[in-house]
Amino acid sequence: MPSALHLSGLPAKKGLLISKAWIQAIGIVGLCGFSLLGILAYHTYSDAPPIPSSVIGPGGQVVFTGRDVQAGQEIFLKNGLMEYGSIFGHGGYLGPDYTADYLHRAATLSANPKDGSSPNDLRERIIADFKANRYDDASGVLTFSAPQAEAFNNLVPYYAENFGAPGTGNGLRPSAITNLEEIRQLTAFFSWSAWSASALRPERNYSYTNNWPPEPLVGNQPTADAVVWSVLS
């Protein structure tokens, strides 16, 4: 006999359009996905490249400090450069990736032979120089080689001209950044990102960024893990 509820004219309760197995599968996939995101987020912070308290040259002179790096990042964001170019490949595509740009220019400056070295010897020396990790975790001090320190000093005026150009040929607003101290701090941020991308992570044969961005002059080739995770993401 029909129920009283059905006789009242209300429709009978319908069953689910999909099976409970599908709902359970979706829940499991969602749980696994968010768990993986949580694990990756944890490692992103725990395995992040260190920001040294100071970067010194071979003679002990201070090249720049960790505060310069952080100030440079703030200048990068304050001026909307993330919408224009990128760091570590993250950002806009209108301008260059400044990690790759600095790394290439620093390596090119280091490739100027001053002692009659053969091209092969010079290339191996540059790769060894940029791959060497001279960061002292106990003191928080990073030591640059002479070519690395010289490259930084030479690239500060280059970026001053680039960001301070009165025209719009670079895709930036006219005279985007003209304060020389801000330019030096911005260059420090680029330099730190280039060091993170090339120096080998302790007890590993790849850098803090899995050799990204690629740069043949310093022997940077993306690792298999970087390729696999890029595809999966």
Say which residue, 208 or 47, is predicted with more confidence. 208
Would the pLDDT of 1 be above 60? Answer: no
Average pLDDT over residues 19-41: 76
H-type alpha helices, the chain:
4-7, 20-46, 66-78, 98-110, 119-131, 146-163, 180-198, 224-232
End-to-end CA distance of the chain: 56
pLDDT tens figures, 120-156: 889 999 999 999 999 999 999 999 999 999 999 999 9
User: For helices 98-110 and 146-163, what crossing angle results, to 10°?
Assistant: 130
Would the pLDDT of 41 be above 60? Answer: no
pLDDT tens figures, 150-168: 999 999 999 999 999 999 9
Tell me what pLDDT residue 191 has. Answer: 98
Average pLDDT over residues 63-68: 98
Do residues 125 and 42 touch, judged by C-beta distance below 8 A? Answer: no
Tell me what pLDDT residue 26 has. Answer: 85
Residue whose structure tokens are 């310069």: 68
Tell me what pLDDT residue 82 has. Answer: 95
Which residue type does 53 have?
A: S
Tell me what pLDDT residue 118 has. Answer: 84
Percent of the chain with pLDDT over 70: 82
The chain-wide mean pLDDT, for the chain, equals 87
Say which residue, 92 or 8, is predicted with more confidence. 92
Average pLDDT over residues 98-113: 92
Tell me what pLDDT residue 223 has. Answer: 79
pLDDT tens figures, 193-227: 999 999 999 999 999 999 999 999 999 998 777 66
48 falls in which pLDDT band (50, 70, 90)?
Answer: confident
For 186, residues 6+ apart whose C-beta sits below 8 A from its C-beta are 72, 75, 76, 159, 163, 177
Would the pLDDT of 98 be above 80? Answer: yes
Rounded-to-integer distance, Cα 203 and Cα 125, Å: 21
- Residue 144: CB atoms within 10 Å: 21
